[in-house]
Amino acid sequence: MTSKHTGFPRLYFATIYSLKGLKAAFYSEPAFRQELAAMVVLIPIACFVDVSVVERILLIMSLFIVLIAELLNSAVEALADRVSSEIHVLIAKAKDIGSAAVFMSLVLAAIVWSMILM
């Protein structure tokens, strides 16, 4: 059994694990790469458009919500695939719900961007 880290070592290892997760998502998930590419384009746009600071934060935050939803969906899919490779109604349901979360985050981002910029 491994000992639990506390204090600064815990923060250090948590950061390492998080970076490993981002790397895994980048290399294994095309949707994550596409959404990241969109962020690379849209964040500079959010920084240069003539909007208030709060609106700028909302524009950028909506993009991060999409990435967060994609990461959680990818985690659910990876776990579901590990549990069983056979088609099962509950695994399909879990994957569909994860996909719906990503879809809703994309809808939210589209609404935020369209309402602020139009």
Query: Which residues are annotated as catalytic?
Result: 70
Q: What number of CA atoms fall less than 13 Å from residue 116's CA on the CB side?
A: 22
DSSP string of 86-118? Answer: S--HHHHHHHHHHHHHHHHHHHHHHHHHHHHH-
User: What length is written for the chain?
Assistant: 118
Say if residues 69 and 101 touch (Cβ distance below 8 Å). Answer: yes
Say if residues 25 and 74 touch (Cβ distance below 8 Å). Answer: yes
